[in-house]
């Protein structure tokens, strides 16, 4: 279990972190852990059900199956010298075995940055806007974000989602460069930039937690 204290919290809250499979209790500044434990005990069945429903953890290891752009690929360690590359439906990894997990993660991050940068550039041109920066991060609760300084950030795990999901998330964040809200004009622009909103939102709701359990 993980305890967090937030100056913005107005009440005790409880959630499941799908990445770590942990129970997270958030407390307002002046609230003690007793209130958090009471909330946890009152929702014990809900917590147990959510934890049981989490997908199993898939480490970056030889033989593991990891999606790339929504298509399953098997990690194959070949040793010797070289980098990481995709061959058919295999992620080929050279080098020492103790560095395999890090090398796969670095490869997927780089592919996420490449793919999302292309999508953002195309959609920003269509919308007549320009981001100050595009980066990828290992976020826990947001697939993308748009900061006040016009910097866009995305979860690198989107590289494992189907391309139509990537297309939607890129469109969503680019639309925020013009409308920093979720009003009607924002959603109208999103619809102009992508045709995948409904399908992508449903996919992220149903399948997104699985991506947080990989790596």
**pLDDT tens per residue, range 40-77:** 787 777 777 777 667 778 999 999 999 999 999 999 99
Please report whether residue 77 resides in a domain. Answer: no
pLDDT given for residue 80 in this prediction: 83
Same domain, 183 and 106: yes
Same domain, 203 and 109: yes
Please report whether residue 69 resides in a domain. Answer: no
Return the percentage of the chain with pLDDT > 70, whole number: 98
Instruction: Look at residue 175 and tell me whether its pLDDT is greater than 80.
Output: yes
Please report whether residue 180 resides in a domain. Answer: yes
Please report whether residue 76 resides in a domain. Answer: no
Residue of higher predicted confidence among 206 and 192 = 192
Same domain, 46 and 106: no
Please report whether residue 93 resides in a domain. Answer: no
Same domain, 26 and 112: no
**Burial of 128: CB neighbours in 10 Å, binned 0-12, 13-18, 19+:** exposed
Same domain, 38 and 130: no
Same domain, 42 and 105: no
Same domain, 49 and 118: no
* pTM of the shown model: 0.79
Same domain, 41 and 142: no
Same domain, 126 and 203: yes
pLDDT given for residue 39 in this prediction: 79
Please report whether residue 66 resides in a domain. Answer: no
Which residue segment(s) compose the domain that 23 sits in? 2-53
pLDDT given for residue 10 in this prediction: 86
**Mean pLDDT value across the chain:** 91
Same domain, 32 and 106: no
pLDDT given for residue 11 in this prediction: 86
Residue 179 maps to which CATH number? 3.30.2010.10
Q: How confident is the model at residue 20 (pLDDT cuts 50, 70, 90)?
A: confident
Please report whether residue 72 resides in a domain. Answer: no
Same domain, 176 and 107: yes
pLDDT given for residue 49 in this prediction: 73
Please report whether residue 61 resides in a domain. Answer: no
The total domain count for the chain is 2
CA–CA separation, 86 and 3 (whole Å): 40
pLDDT digits (tens, 9 = 90+) for 98-155: 999 999 999 999 999 999 999 999 999 999 999 999 999 998 778 999 999 999 999 9
Same domain, 137 and 35: no
pLDDT given for residue 151 in this prediction: 97
């Amino acid at each position: 279990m993980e305890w967090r204290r937030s100056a913005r919290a107005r009440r005790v809250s409880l959630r499941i972190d799908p990445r770590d499979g942990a129970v997270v209790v958030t407390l307002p500044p002046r609230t003690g852990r007793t209130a958090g434990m009471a909330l946890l005990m009152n929702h014990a069945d809900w917590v147990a059900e959510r934890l049981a429903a989490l997908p199993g953890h898939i480490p970056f290891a030889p033989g593991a199956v990891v999606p790339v752009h929504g298509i399953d690929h098997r990690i194959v360690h070949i040793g010797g010298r070289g980098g990481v590359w995709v061959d058919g439906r295999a992620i080929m990894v050279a080098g020492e075995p103790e560095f395999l997990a890090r090398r796969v993660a670095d490869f997927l991050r780089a592919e996420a940055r490449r793919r999302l940068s292309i999508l953002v550039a195309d959609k920003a041109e269509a919308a007549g806007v320009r981001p100050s920066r595009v980066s990828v991060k290992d976020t826990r609760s947001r697939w993308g974000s748009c900061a006040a300084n016009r910097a866009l950030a995305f979860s690198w795990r989107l590289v494992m989602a189907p391309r139509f999901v990537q297309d939607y998330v890129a469109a969503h964040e680019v639309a925020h460069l013009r409308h920093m809200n979720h009003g009607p004009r924002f959603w109208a622009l999103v619809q102009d930039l992508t045709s995948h909103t409904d399908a992508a939102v449903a996919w992220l709701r149903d399948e997104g937690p699985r991506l947080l359990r990989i790596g």
